Structure 1
Amino acid sequence: MARMKFICDTERCIECNGCVTACKNDNEVPWGVNRRRVVTVNDGIIGQEKSVSVACMHCTDAPCMAVCPVDCFYRTDEGVVLHDKDICIGCGYCSFACPFGAPQFLSKGAFGSRSKMDKCTFCSGGPEENGSVAEFEKYGRNRLAEGKLPLCAEMCSTKALIGGDSDIISGIFNTRVANREKNGKYPGSQAFGWSTAYGGPGTPAPAPTPADKIPGAK
């Protein structure tokens, strides 16, 4: 059984926000909620600027599931972490626990009371019947049921964002890193959030040590 995951290659991301637009448009995500967003660190610093597309990483040991007092979260057979909006009470615990800031809440009223939580579903809908109107209204389009991958990854112009079976996408990323190391470019490139979200086997190779760069040192 495939285990669906995301990887964002920070060496390829150009901060075009195509993934953000694709997600909001295809799933009709309301204004004020961003299931996916692009974050740039060291903005404007030549040689140090990096951008990364961030959403729910569908963690192996998801902290949102651990802290939810009403157990509205569940994991599918494909490893996708979803939630039931009919159970969610909008307490916000998941938003504090998530290291990626994935759970989003719309504020309602003058005093900012929270609505039901919303987040990335890996384009796999929710607990309602696949492809139903109720599923789309609450969770967006169920592309996985259609045999497709998340639109954010498919629309990425530089293929920085890739999503799918963890074994396949980690292999793709590791091949990219190996080619960069071979060509002397971007030494020590790492997949954003991989070890935090998934850990264990499949974690991209660590950055080379100084000895690795000296011919005959090892």
Structure 2
Amino acid sequence: MARMKFICDSERCIECNSCVTACKNEHEVPWGVNRRRVVTVNDGIVGQEKSVSVACMHCSDAPCMAVCPVDCFYRTDEGVVLHNKDTCIGCGYCSYACPFGAPQFPSSGTFGLRGKMDKCTFCAGGPEENGSKAEFDKYGRNRLAEGKLPACAEMCSTKALLGGDGDMVADIFRSRVLRRGKGSEVWGWGTAYGKAPNGEAKAPEGTKS
């Protein structure tokens, strides 16, 4: 059984926000909620600007599931973390626990209105019957039941955002890294600490290089 995962290639993301727009359009997401958003660091600094598309990462050990007092979160056979809005009490614990800010309160007006939590579903719908109106009204379109990938990944013009079977997504990203010639350096000392004058990665203070 496939384990569904997202990964965003920051070397390809151009901050076009097509993934955000595709998600909102596909699921008619409530006002004030962005199930997916693009985060940019070092904005405006030439050569250092990086963007990444962020949503629910459907964690294998999801903190939202751990803190929910009514156990409204559940994991499908494909590893997608979903929630039952009929059980949700809108306490917001999941929004505090999630490191990606995935669960959100729908809001309207200046101060917002609290209600049932909303989050990325990996285009997998919810506990209602697949393709039903009740499922769409609460969770949006169930593209996985139709044999399709999430709309955000399909609409990414540069294919920076990948979504699907975790093993296949990892293989695609790994092949890109190898073609770029960076190898393990993508996650190495140079990425975290910069490079030494001789071109070698610096070691942090108190350690031997």
Asked if 1:115 is matched to 2:107, the reply is no
Give how far 1:79 is off. 0.1
The root-mean-square deviation of aligned C-alpha atoms, in Å, is 2.1
Q: What does residue 180 of structure 2 align with?
A: 180
Q: What does residue 151 of structure 2 align with?
A: 151
Asked if 1:26 is matched to 2:41, the reply is no
**Deviation string for 1:11-65 (max 9, x for gaps)?**
0000000000000001011220000001111101111100000000000100000
Q: What does residue 45 of structure 2 align with?
A: 45
Secondary structure, aligned partner of 2:185: coil
CA distance in 2 between partners of 1:207 and 1:141 (Å): 39
Matched residues, percent identical?
Answer: 79
Secondary structure, aligned partner of 2:56: coil
Q: What does residue 127 of structure 1 align with?
A: 127
Secondary structure, aligned partner of 2:21: helix
Contact 2:31 2:108 in 1 (8 A): no
Q: What does residue 197 of structure 1 align with?
A: none
Task: Give 5+ residue unaligned stretches, structure 2.
Answer: 201-209
Give how far 1:188 is off. 3.2
CA distance in 2 between partners of 1:77 and 1:99 (Å): 23
Task: Give 5+ residue unaligned stretches, structure 1.
Answer: 190-205
**Deviation string for 1:137-187 (max 9, x for gaps)?**
000000000000001000100000000000000010011011112xx6x98
Q: What does residue 71 of structure 2 align with?
A: 71
**What TM-score, normalized to structure 1?**
0.84
Please show how residues 54-65 of structure 1 align to structure 2 within 5 Å.
54-65=54-65
CA distance in 2 between partners of 1:82 and 1:95 (Å): 14
| Number of aligned residues | 194
CA distance in 2 between partners of 1:42 and 1:111 (Å): 30
**What TM-score, normalized to structure 2?**
0.87
Q: Which aligned segments of 4 or more residues in structure 1 are displaced greater than 2 angstroms?
A: 107-113, 186-189, 206-210
